[in-house]
Structure 1
Amino acid sequence: MLKTIKLFLPLVTISVLSACTTAPLSTTVSQQEQRDLALQTAIIQFTKQPNINFSKAFVDLNENHKNDAIVLLRDRNWCGSGGCTLLIFEKQHRKYKLISQSTVTDAPIYALNTYHQGWRDLAVYSRKRGFVRFKYDGQRYPSNPSILNIIQQFDERSATLLIGQ
């Protein structure tokens, strides 16, 4: 009988120990969730508001194979009769850095197939005027679309819609 106990003791010990351990909880966060959280953090840092209404789009604006963020703040604190505030963030590592802020902007917003200073041009709607071309000047995009020339004969089919109505 002692022999039988000696044979089963290691098996019982292993069974008891394995029953006491639990599988680690899954804390995996998807890349999309990480991206959205990083953008949300950048928006809160800029607006100083934890809950704000906005539309967003992700697109590689500077051909570095990282999706930058275009954000149209649609919150009443960031909109007026001429439009809303547009923020453009550059993706840097796991964070978003604000590179441009524009007022009196409205949707729709399109990405064009042309570039200036290594950054993609945007077609932004300016209320009561039409679409204007946002060109990067080496530091930022224009701060006020209402003073830019409108795009004559803008063909939406030749651009990529980022943020719709």
Structure 2
Amino acid sequence: MKRFLPLSLLLYASVVSGCASDRPRPAYEPKSPAMASEPIEPQEGDLDLAISGYLGAHHAPLFSRYEYTRLDLNGDGLRDALVYMKTPFGHWCGDHGCTVLVFAAKDGGFTSAGAISPVRAPFYVSKLTSQGWRDLVVRVAGREERAKDVVLQFDGQSYPLDPGPLPPYLNFSALEKTKVFP
């Protein structure tokens, strides 16, 4: 055993000295400015929480049914959400259509960016923008006047709540748009 002690000490010293460095290391690695400022894309679970919070804050039925689509509406690189509320009929939908909720994606979550009601499918997102947000094209029907497609423009705070009074968009077929709800 005494014979192996000097050999063990020599081996230990060579391992420890091999790990040493002339340059001291910081206790943490600072993030580069690009990494520190990149927003975090919210996930579907974050959207579910935002919708549940909206339902609770507006005393809406918790068993409400909806479908949603996610796309970048405001050019910040994060996918926002359009939520098409389907039931219960008397709360979210009526003879003139249903409600669409708009949620803005923020760093790791969502905030409400308004509601639009009533609208009918189909529902489109235009390539045109207003106040940095993409214009929405919705169908207004089931009223005394003829059915029409209208353009909803963001005003800096939200989209118009009621699309009914808006004028029809006459260049609908020429508009570059993406269909999001059937």
Q: Secondary structure at the match of 2:46?
A: helix
Matching residue within 102, 109, 114 for 1:95: 109
**Could you tell me which residue of structure 2 aligns to residue 85 of structure 1?**
99
**In structure 2, C-alpha distance between the alignment counterparts of 1:109 and 1:53, rounded to whole Å:** 18
Rate the CA distance shift 1:137–1:157 in 2: closer, same or farther, 3 A: closer
Counterparts of 1:107 and 1:36, CA distance in 2: 23
How much identity, in percent, do the aligned residues show? Answer: 28
Give 1:104's aligned residue: 118
**Count of aligned pairs:** 133
Q: 1:149 to 1:155 in 2, by over 3 A?
A: same
TM-score by length of 2: 0.68
Partner of 1:47: 55
The answer to which structure has the higher helix fraction is 1
- Structure 1: 5+ residue runs without aligned partners? 1-30
| TM-score when normalising by structure 1 | 0.74
The unaligned stretches of length 5 or more in structure 2 are: 1-39
CA deviations 1:15-74 (Å, max 9, x no partner) are xxxxxxxxxxxxxxxx99x62211111111112343321121111011000000001101
CA contact (8 A) 2:126 2:175 kept: no
- Is 2:155 the partner of 1:137? yes
Instruction: Output the CA distance in 2 between the equivalents of 1:101 and 1:150.
Output: 20
Q: Choose which of 64, 74, 82 in structure 2 pairs with 1:70.
A: 82
Aligned AA (2:155): D
Question: For the structure 1 residues 140 and 85, does the alpha-carbon distance in structure 2 shift closer, same or farther, using more than 3 Å as the test?
Answer: same
